[in-house]
DNA sequence: CTTGACTGCTAATGCGTATTAGCAGCTAAT
DNA sequence: ATTAGCTGCTAATACGCATTAGCAGTCAAG
C-alpha cells in the first residue's frame, strides 16, 4: 500500500480530458474563473472526481494556499483517559459538533510529545498542519503559551489563561461568579462560619474560585478554616471542619466532598444537617456517591462549541482576540441547607 | 514577531553562505551524505539555525516526503455521544494510545456527512487526507465497505466484517468463543434449559454471538426460548422465561438483562436463585444496576490499539491483510449459579 | 476586414522542503 | 599522463495544488 500512488489532479485531468488547472478551477476556482468553464465540462470533471473519490491533498493545498479546513486539538493530557467519566469528553463533544457544523475536520495532536511530557512545540510544529488549534488541559506550559501568543498561528484556549505576555484568546467558565453565587446562597441561609477545602493559587481555574469565594466574604461571614490542599485524608479534614465550627464547607474537588461526607456519615454526622457541603469542581474522578451535591454547572459542551466557533472566526477573518467567560449556573443539589439553629 | 515572515531554508542558507540543499542535508541528511559535509560547515549552519530559531515547515516537509503521519478515524455515528458512558470512547482511548506510540496524529472525520446519514464517500470526502483510516461503528454500509475493499486506500475495520467482495482487514472481539464458553459454564453448573434474548441475524457481532450459542447447544442442553428481539417490555420477556422453564437466560443486551432482573425482583423472583442471567454485550446504555452480571469482557481498548498498529503496518510496509479476533475473557459476576435443585 | 470582447481552456509558476545527479578540485595510483 | 576515487558542495527536480497570464478561437460591432 505504501507504493500505491494517491490520485492527483493530474490523474483526474487525464480522465476527464482536461488540464490539471481546469480540475483545480472546477474544485475551487473564483466565481469569475468558474464562469468561463461551461456547465458541461464542469460536470464531466465533477463526475470523474466523484467516481474516483478524489480529494485534494491537504498538505499540497496548504502549501499552495495556506488553508485546509482542519482544526487542531491539542490536549496537555491524553484526550481519552482510562477513567471512564473523563474530563475531556464533554469538551470534545462540543468541539466535534461545532466543527461539523462549520465543516471542519478535527486533528487530534496525539503525536506531539511521545513521552510523559506533552509539548506543543515538540517535534517540528505538527501543529501547523491544521489551520489553527484549540488548546486544552489543566496545566498549561507557560513558555509554550507565550510562544503561541507571540506567534501568528491562530489558536484559542479552553479555560481562562493569563500571563502569557499578551492577551490570550479563550473561552472559559466563570468560576468566580459561580463560586460567589454559592457563597451568597449559603449566607442567605444563615451560614456565617465557612470552610474552604482546596488550594487558592497556581492555575487560573483555582485562582478564580478562590477569588469568588474571597470576594463574597464580607461582614457577617467568616472563613474559619482553609485546607489548602486537595486529596487530604478525609478523616483529618473532617476533624478540622468539626473543630473549626464551620457550618458550610466549600470543596474545590468533588472527590474530597464525597470522601468527607462518607467519613462524616461513618461518625454519625450527616450532611447537610450537621454541615452543608458545596462543590466547586470535579477534575478528579470521584467515587460514586448517592448524594447530589450542591454545586455549579460547568457548561463544557458549550465551551467547546464556542471555542471552536471563535477559532474559526480567527482563522477565516483574522477576528480580533476575544475572551469569553460562560456563566456557570448553580445546581441545587441536596447538600446546602439552612444553618442548624 | 507576528509580522515577521517565516524563515525558510533559503534564508538560513544565505546567512550561512551555503545552498539550501546543504541546509536540508545538515538538518536531516542520510549519514552517508552527512559524512561529506565537514564539521566546520555543519557547525556554521547549525549556529545560524539556532540563533534564528528556525524550524522546518512541516507542511513542506510532508509535501516532499509524501506521507502525513495522520490516521483518519471514521465513525458511523458521532464519536462523542451525549450519553456519557458511550460506546466509542474505549476504542478511541486505545487508538489514541497506539497512535501516540507510533507518532501518528489522529484526524477525526467529523465533517463527513453532516446530516443523519454519515457516509465515507459522501460528497467532499476527506478521507484521503490521512495516510490510512480506521472505520468503526455498529452498522456499516455494505456498499461503502465494498468500495473500500476494492480500492487501494489502507484501512482497518474495528469489529469483524465480511461479505465485502474480498477479505476485510479487521480487529474484532471473539464473541463466538466468548459466548460458547459462557454456555458451557452454565451447562457445567447443571443448566439444561436455556433461553436466548436477542436477535440472531444481520450484523456480524450479532451473528457471532448466536453462532457461539448455537454451537454449544448439544446433547443434554436445550434452547427452550428465543426472544428474537432487543428492547421488548421486560414483563413480557419475563413471562416468557418463566413459562419456558428456562434456568439460564442469555441476553445479547445488558439493558434487557437489567430490566428483566428488576422485573423479576418486583415479582419476588431473584437472580440467580430462580434463574441465572448471562450478558453477551452492551451497546445500548443501560440503567445502572446493583447487579454485577456474568458476562464476557470486550477488550475495546486493546482492539483500538491493535487496529491502529495494523493500520500503520499496512501503510508503512504494505503488510498483507490480517484478521484478528481478540479473546473475550469471561467475567465472573454474580448472576450465574448452580441450577436450583 | 479589422477590432474588440468574450469563451474555453492551458502553460507556467511558486509554495518550502528532500533528494539525487553531478560538477569542480584535489590526491594517489597506474 | 591518465585514471580513479575522494571531498565538498550545488543545481535541479519532484511533491500536488492554486493561481495568473495568456493563447486560440468565435462572434458581433464598427
Q: Do residues A32 and A124 both lie within one domain?
A: no
pLDDT at residue A268, rounded to an integer: 94
Domain limits at A105?
70-173+301-326
Separation CA A57–CA A9 (nearest Å): 9
pLDDT of A101 strictly over 60: yes
Separation CA B148–CA B72 (nearest Å): 14
Q: Do residues B205 and B259 both lie within one domain?
A: yes
pLDDT of A317 strictly over 90: no
Of B314, B281, B313, B310, whose CA–CA distance to B298 is shortest?
B281
Neighbours of A46 (CB within 10 A): 16
* CATH code (residue A15): 1.10.260
Q: Is residue A333 part of a domain?
A: no
Q: Do residues A205 and A318 both lie within one domain?
A: no
Q: Do residues B168 and B179 both lie within one domain?
A: no
Residue A60 and residue A24 in contact, taking contact as beta carbons nearer than 8 Å: no
Q: Do residues A267 and A194 both lie within one domain?
A: yes
pLDDT at residue A235, rounded to an integer: 93
- Beta-carbon contacts of B273 under 8 Å, excluding residues fewer than 6 positions away, are B337, B340
Q: Do residues A161 and A181 both lie within one domain?
A: no
Residue reference for cell 491539542? A74
Cα A255 to its chain centre, rounded Å, is: 20
Separation CA B304–CA A141 (nearest Å): 30
Q: B275: helix, coil or strand?
A: coil
Of A219, A218, A291, whose CA–CA distance to A251 is shortest?
A291
- Beta-carbon contacts of A320 under 8 Å, excluding residues fewer than 6 positions away, are none
Four-CA torsion B100, B105, B111, B115, nearest 10 degrees: -20
Q: Is residue B341 part of a domain?
A: no
Residue A319 and residue A313 in contact, taking contact as beta carbons nearer than 8 Å: yes
Q: Do residues A165 and A179 both lie within one domain?
A: no
Neighbours of B32 (CB within 10 A): 7
Cβ burial B11-30 (10 Å sphere, 16+ → b, else e): bbbebbebeeebbbbbbebe
Q: B82: helix, coil or strand?
A: coil
Q: A278: helix, coil or strand?
A: strand
pLDDT at residue A1, rounded to an integer: 42
| Minimal CA separation from A74 to chain B, in Å | 10
pLDDT single digits (tens) A110-149: 755 444 566 766 555 677 788 899 999 877 888 889 988 9
Separation CA B212–CA B194 (nearest Å): 14
- Strand C positions closer than 7 A to protein CB: 7-12, 14-20
Give, in degrees to the nearest 5, the angle at Cα A304 between A135 and A196: 80
Q: Is the dihedral of CA A257, A258, A263, A264 positive or negative?
A: positive
pLDDT at residue A78, rounded to an integer: 67
Q: Do residues A147 and A287 both lie within one domain?
A: no
pLDDT at residue B78, rounded to an integer: 64
What angle in degrees, to the nearest 10, is found between the helix axes of A204-216 and A175-188? 30
Q: Is residue A340 part of a domain?
A: no
Separation CA A237–CA B252 (nearest Å): 46
What nine digits make up the cell of A229?
Answer: 490542599
Q: B134: helix, coil or strand?
A: strand
pLDDT at residue B1, rounded to an integer: 36
B96·A84 Cβ contact <8 A: no
What nine digits make up the cell of B33?
Answer: 551524505
* CATH code (residue A129): 3.40.50.2300
How many Å does it take to go from CA B9 to C1' D13? 17
- As a whole number, mean pLDDT of residues A276-288 equals 84
B28 CB closer than 7 A to any strand C atom: yes
- Strand D positions closer than 7 A to protein CB: 7-12, 14-21
Q: Is residue B332 part of a domain?
A: no
Chain A 260-279, residues with CB within 8 Å of chain B CB atoms: none
Burial class (CB in 10 A: 0-12, 13-18, 19+), B106: buried
Q: Do residues B164 and B307 both lie within one domain?
A: yes
pLDDT of A77 strictly over 90: no
- The confidence band for A184, taking pLDDT boundaries of 50, 70 and 90, is very high
Half-sphere exposure of residue B289: CA atoms within 13 angstroms, side-chain side:
22
Q: Which residue of A has its CA nearest to B319?
A: A1
Chain B contact for A70 (CB, 8 A cutoff): yes
Q: Do residues A309 and A163 both lie within one domain?
A: yes
Instruction: Determine phi and psi for B215, rounding to 5 degrees.
Output: -65, -25
Chain B contact for A8 (CB, 8 A cutoff): no
Maximum pairwise Cα distance, chain A: 89
Q: Is residue A140 part of a domain?
A: yes
Q: Do residues B16 and B91 both lie within one domain?
A: no
Q: What is the pLDDT along chain B (341 residues), one digit of tens a residue?
A: 333 467 899 999 999 999 999 999 999 888 888 888 999 999 999 999 998 888 888 788 888 887 878 899 988 776 665 554 467 888 998 999 999 888 888 988 875 544 456 666 654 467 777 888 999 987 788 888 998 898 878 999 999 998 888 999 999 999 999 999 999 999 999 999 999 999 988 789 999 999 999 999 988 899 999 999 888 899 999 999 999 999 999 999 999 999 999 999 999 999 899 999 999 998 777 777 788 999 999 999 999 999 999 999 998 887 899 999 999 999 999 999 988 76
CA end-to-end span of chain A? 76
| Minimal CA separation from A170 to chain B, in Å | 19
Separation CA A55–CA A69 (nearest Å): 13
Instruction: Determine phi and psi for A141, rounding to 5 degrees.
Output: -90, 120
Separation CA B55–CA A277 (nearest Å): 52
Number of domains in chain B: 3
Maximum pairwise Cα distance, chain B: 93
pLDDT of A312 strictly over 70: yes
Q: Do residues A50 and A96 both lie within one domain?
A: no
Alpha helices, DSSP H, located in chain B: 9-16, 20-28, 31-34, 39-52, 58-65, 89-101, 142-150, 175-188, 204-216, 234-244, 254-266, 300-317
* CATH code (residue B27): 1.10.260.40
What angle in degrees, to the nearest 10, is found between the helix axes of B9-16 and B39-52? 120
Q: Is residue B147 part of a domain?
A: yes
State which residues between 9 and 38 of chain A bring their CB within 7 Å of strand C.
Answer: 17-22, 25, 33, 35-38
pLDDT at residue A113, rounded to an integer: 47
Q: How far apart, in Å, are the Cα atoms of B269 and each of A11, A232, B238, B265?
A: 69, 44, 10, 5
pLDDT single digits (tens) A225-259: 999 988 889 999 999 999 999 999 999 999 999 99
Query: What residues pair up with A106 in beta bridges, in sequence order?
Result: A71, B108
Q: Is the dihedral of CA B137, B140, B145, B148 positive or negative?
A: negative
Q: Is residue B21 part of a domain?
A: yes
A41 CB closer than 7 A to any strand C atom: yes
Q: Nearest residue (Cα to C1') for D16?
A: A60
State which residues between 151 and 210 of chain A bring their CB within 7 Å of strand D.
Answer: none
Separation CA B181–CA B212 (nearest Å): 8
B103·A111 Cβ contact <8 A: yes
Of B121, B167, B73, whose CA–CA distance to A51 is shortest?
B121
Instruction: List the B294-296 sheet strands across, edge first.
Output: B222-227, B193-197, B248-251, B276-279, B294-296, B330-331
B138 CB closer than 7 A to any strand C atom: no
Q: Is residue B2 part of a domain?
A: no
Q: B68: helix, coil or strand?
A: coil
Amino acid at each position: 500500500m505504501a507504493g500505491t500512488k494517491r490520485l492527483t489532479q493530474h490523474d483526474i485531468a487525464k480522465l476527464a480530458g482536461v488540464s490539471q488547472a481546469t480540475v483545480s478551477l472546477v474544485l475551487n476556482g473564483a466565481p469569475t474563473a468558474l464562469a468561463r468553464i461551461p456547465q458541461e465540462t464542469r460536470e464531466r470533471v465533477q463526475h470523474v472526481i466523484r467516481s474516483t473519490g478524489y480529494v485534494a491533498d491537504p498538505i499540497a493545498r496548504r502549501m499552495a494556499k495556506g488553508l485546509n479546513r482542519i482544526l487542531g486539538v491539542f490536549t496537555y493530557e491524553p484526550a481519552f483517559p482510562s477513567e471512564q467519566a473523563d474530563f475531556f469528553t464533554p469538551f470534545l463533544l462540543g468541539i466535534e459538533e461545532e466543527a461539523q457544523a462549520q465543516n471542519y475536520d478535527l486533528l487530534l495532536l496525539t503525536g506531539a510529545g511521545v513521552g510523559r511530557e506533552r509539548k506543543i512545540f515538540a517535534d517540528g510544529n505538527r501543529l501547523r498542519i491544521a489551520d489553527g488549534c484549540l488548546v486544552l488541559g489543566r496545566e498549561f506550559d507557560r513558555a509554550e503559551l507565550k510562544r503561541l501568543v507571540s506567534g501568528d498561528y491562530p489558536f484559542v484556549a479552553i479555560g481562562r489563561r493569563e500571563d502569557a505576555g499578551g492577551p490570550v484568546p479563550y473561552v472559559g467558565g466563570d468560576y468566580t461568579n459561580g463560586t460567589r453565587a454559592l457563597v451568597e446562597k449559603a449566607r442567605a441561609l444563615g451560614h456565617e462560619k465557612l470552610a474552604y477545602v482546596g488550594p487558592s493559587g497556581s492555575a487560573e481555574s483555582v485562582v478564580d474560585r478562590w477569588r469568588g469565594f474571597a470576594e463574597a466574604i464580607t461582614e457577617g461571614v467568616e472563613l474559619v478554616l482553609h485546607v489548602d490542599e486537595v486529596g487530604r485524608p478525609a478523616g483529618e479534614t473532617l476533624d478540622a471542619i468539626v473543630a473549626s465550627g464551620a457550618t458550610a464547607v466549600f470543596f474545590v474537588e468533588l472527590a474530597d466532598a464525597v470522601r468527607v461526607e462518607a467519613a462524616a456519615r461513618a461518625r454519625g454526622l450527616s450532611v447537610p444537617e450537621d454541615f452543608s457541603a458545596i462543590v466547586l469542581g470535579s477534575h478528579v474522578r470521584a467515587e460514586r456517591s448517592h448524594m447530589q451535591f450542591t454545586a455549579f454547572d460547568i457548561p463544557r459542551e458549550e465551551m467547546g462549541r464556542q471555542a471552536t466557533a471563535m477559532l474559526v472566526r480567527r482563522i477565516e477573518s483574522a477576528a480580533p482576540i476575544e475572551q469569553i467567560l460562560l456563566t456557570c449556573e448553580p445546581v441545587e443539589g441536596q447538600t446546602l441547607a439552612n444553618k442548624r439553629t
